[in-house]
Amino acid sequence: MPMSPRLHNSSSQVAAPELGAVKAGKPATCAASGQATSAHEFSRQERLLLLRLAHDSISSALENREVPLEIPTPHFAGNRGVFTSLYLRGELRGCVGYVLPSCPLHRAVAETARAAAFEDDRFPPVTRQEATHLEIEISILSPPQAVQAEEIEVGRHGLLVTWHGRRGLLLPQVPIEHGWDRTTFLEQTCRKAALPLDAWKNGAAIEAFTAEVFGDQSEQCESVTRG
């Protein structure tokens, strides 16, 4: 399955100073970790199907076979922005995504999972041995919309800041993970784009989005709770 040129590598590990700027329209860097930040749009069965597809997309690449991409439910046919994060023994192992809704959801999940495993240049390609131990987390994004800074809700919104051809993106769970307030969230998104921390006050475009976040771990926990 060839990878799309619209795929964006993203890393929400913004505390790391070595992470560089993101050119608008070019591959960007974000990692997802944490709890879901919006009400469930997708049923548990649909979430499990998407997680299974992500795992199969990675294993199929290692086995040199095609992954089936038939649409299992009409709900997956719509174009959505998606980030897929991989974890190995609790540590980030790759994260790649589409910022904008550029292809059907099921294909976006398959492509971002495979790219996170083999095309995130912060990490070596995932090995066959590692693939059996990966935990996957998927963030399904709403379309970004322009907002005023005071409209941003920490824990609900992800941010996209664009200025002078540079773009920084952080997923909604990131400020919760780091204990940031709204101002720090805006500053760190600017920092992600290698912009001045106050660029959000001086002409940078601010867009917000929401995300439904789920993963192997959260779905296992839900299964235990329901059981």
Q: What is the pLDDT of residues 169-190, one digit of tens each?
A: 998 989 998 999 999 999 999 9
pLDDT bin (cut points 50, 70, 90) of residue 2 is: very low
DSSP conformation letters of 29-68: -----SS--S---S-HHHHHHHHHHHHHHHHHHHTT-PPP
Between helix 105-118 and helix 44-62 the angle, nearest 10°, is 40
Q: Residue 149 has what pLDDT?
A: 96
Give the C-alpha separation, 8 to 205, whole Å: 19
pLDDT bin (cut points 50, 70, 90) of residue 153 is: very high
Taking the model in full, what pTM does it have?
A: 0.75
Say which amino acid occupies 24: A
Average pLDDT of the residues of the chain: 82
Give residue-wise pLDDT tens across range 115-140: 999 999 999 999 999 999 999 999 99
Give the C-alpha separation, 37 to 157, whole Å: 8
Q: Residue 220 has what pLDDT?
A: 66
Give residue-wise pLDDT tens across range 32-49: 444 434 468 899 999 999
Q: Residue 149 in contact with residue 182, Cβ under 8 Å? A: yes
Give residue-wise pLDDT tens across range 50-92: 999 999 999 999 999 988 788 878 899 999 999 999 999 999 9
